[in-house]
Structures are given as C-alpha cells and as structure tokens.
Amino acid sequence: MNLFTGESADAFFGGDMPEAARNLLHQAAQSARGEVGALLWTAQALAPQALGIYYALYKHHAGLREFEQAERAAQRGLLEAAKQAGLAEDWRQVAPGSVPDGIDFRGNGAARFWLFTLKALAFIALRSGRPEDARELLARIAALDDQAHIGGEVIATLLACVTSRPGA
C-alpha cells in the first residue's frame, strides 16, 4: 500500500528496494510477531537507503510499545531521508526560509517521508511521556506543512488531551 496515495502497490516510498530486503519485508509481513523485528532490522542493514524499511520498523516497535526502538528507527530514517532530500541533518535547522529550492514536502519521495517521520517522532515522544518534545516537533511540522497535508493535527489533538488532564 502506498502510504501517501492509498493505492495498492509493492513500491516502498518510491525508492529502490534491493530484492533481498524486499523479500525480508514480505517475510516479516507473514511472520509471527516475535520474529518481525529481527527480519526488519536485517532488511535495514541490507538496504539502509530504503526508506520504507524505517517506516516498517518504527510502526512495528511503536505498536509493541517499544518506544526506544521505535525512536531509534525513526531517527535513522529521518537522517537517511534528510540525506536523500538534501535537507539538514538536524531537523531543527529545517525551517520554511531555509528549505532548498525544489524540495517538495507534498510529493512522494524523501522530503515527504522526512516530514512524515517527524510526525512519527512527535507521536513517539507523546507516547513516551515527553509532551514538550512532541510540541516542538509539531511546531516544526506546522511551519513546514501549513496546509496540514501530513496529518500532524491528529497528534496535536492527542497532545492537547494529554496536557489538559489534571496532573499532566
């Protein structure tokens, strides 16, 4: 499934996927829950340039509430996407006025994956009990995605609910 268009596809975020890594992703999709992580990390080691593997990794670990591992996968994916898109390694340095010409956060590809991964990091931070980190990430997403195409407002709503509770 193409995450951005919703169309059924065997392409993983528009990038090249070596056959061995592709096979591991398909195997992970069919495997018992306890085997999935090892298969995905193996695929990542084989194809560190393949952004779809990072997505699978952080979704897998977040789903198991393994937020440290989810964050590690998302951070690695963010760095790889920044490299491919020509963005700064530190996401805090990517601001509306500093984005190189030709970077399109709305099109399929590394720049959109980068922004989408910022959203994942905001979710992970929120679920890990770090609302201020989530707020900082969401502010950057809002600055770069002023039309809310990436869906950061969903996490912003969760953040508002969490921080408005007594004792939060």
- Which structural domain range is residue 71 located in? 19-164
- pLDDT attached to residue 154: 62
Residue 5 lies in a domain: no
pTM: 0.84
Q: Could you tell me the CATH number of the domain that includes residue 146? A: 1.25.40.10
DSSP 12: B
Q: Is it the case that residue 157 has pLDDT exceeding 80?
A: no
Residue 3 lies in a domain: no
Percent of the chain with pLDDT over 90: 64
- Burial of 100: CB neighbours in 10 Å, binned 0-12, 13-18, 19+: exposed
Residue 2 lies in a domain: no
- pLDDT attached to residue 160: 60
CA distance 92 to 89: 9
Residue 10 lies in a domain: no
Mean pLDDT of the chain: 85
Q: What is the dihedral of CA 47, 1, 109, 18, to 10 degrees?
A: 20
Q: Where are the alpha helices (DSSP H) in the chain?
A: 19-30, 33-46, 51-63, 67-85, 110-127, 131-144, 152-164
- pLDDT attached to residue 104: 80
